[in-house]
C-alpha cells in the first residue's frame, strides 16, 4: 500500500519494487531479531512492558500517508530516498507487526494451554493469514477502496491488533503469575 503511494513520484520500475522488497525483508529480519533478543534477555514482565511501548509508538505515524512535498532526488538514484521514506512512513507500524508472531508463539508456550509445548501451529495460522491478505489486497480491497481509505482501514486494523495483543499479554501475565504462585 505504501509503495503504491510512492509510485507516482518514482514510477513502477523494477528498482523501485526491488528496493521496497529489500526494505520489508530487512524490517522482518530486524523484527524477528528483536523478538529473539527480547525473549532471551529479559524477564517476562519486562518483555510485556517493552512490547507495549513498541506497539504504542506507531500511533504517532498513523494513518499511513506520504508527507506533502516530498520528492525524490533527480540527480542520483532514489533508492536511499525510498528507504528513508519507507522507514519514516511505515517503519514503526511494520516493525511492531513483525514482532507479534514470534512473541505470541513464545508467550503462548509459557501458558498452561494443552498445546503450549508445541506452539508451531501458530506459524501455520500466521502464514495462512498472510497468504489470504496477499490475495485479498489486489483482488478485493484495492479495487473496492482508494489508498487513503485503505490507510484508514489499516490504522483501524492496527488498533484491533493492539487490543487483541493486550488481551494476550493479560492472559500470559495472569498465567505466569499463577504459575509463580503455585511453585512457591
Alpha helices per DSSP H over the chain = 2-10, 14-41, 44-56, 79-109, 121-136, 142-144, 147-183
Q: What is the pLDDT of residues 90-109, one digit of tens each?
A: 999 999 999 999 998 898 88
Which residue has better confidence, 58 or 7?
Answer: 58
CA distance 18 to 7: 13
Mean pLDDT of the 142-158 span: 91
Is 50 exceeded by the pLDDT of residue 183?
A: no
pLDDT of residue 176: 67
How open is the CA angle 136-140-145, to the nearest 5 degrees?
A: 120
Which residue has better confidence, 40 or 171?
Answer: 40
Amino acid at each position: 500500500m505504501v509503495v503504491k503511494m510512492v509510485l507516482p513520484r518514482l514510477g513502477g520500475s523494477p528498482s523501485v519494487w526491488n528496493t521496497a522488497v529489500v526494505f520489508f525483508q530487512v524490517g522482518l529480519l530486524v523484527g524477528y531479531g528483536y523478538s529473539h533478543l527480547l525473549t532471551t534477555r529479559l524477564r517476562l514482565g519486562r518483555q510485556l512492558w517493552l512490547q507495549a511501548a513498541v506497539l504504542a509508538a506507531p500511533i504517532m505515524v498513523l494513518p499511513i500517508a506520504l508527507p506533502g512535498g516530498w520528492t525524490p532526488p533527480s540527480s542520483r538514484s532514489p533508492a536511499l530516498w525510498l528507504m528513508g521514506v519507507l522507514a519514516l512512513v511505515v517503519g514503526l507500524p511494520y516493525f511492531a507487526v513483525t514482532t507479534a508472531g514470534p512473541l505470541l508463539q513464545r508467550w503462548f508456550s509459557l501458558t498452561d494451554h494443552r498445546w503450549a509445548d508445541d506452539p508451531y501451529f501458530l506459524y501455520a495460522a500466521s502464514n495462512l493469514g498472510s497468504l489470504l491478505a496477499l490475495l485479498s489486497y489486489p483482488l478485493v480491497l484495492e479495487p473496492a477502496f482508494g489508498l487513503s481509505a485503505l490507510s484508514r482501514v489499516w490504522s483501524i486494523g492496527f488498533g484491533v491488533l493492539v487490543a487483541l495483543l493486550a488481551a494476550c499479554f493479560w492472559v500470559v501475565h495472569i498465567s505466569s503469575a499463577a504459575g509463580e504462585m503455585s511453585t512457591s
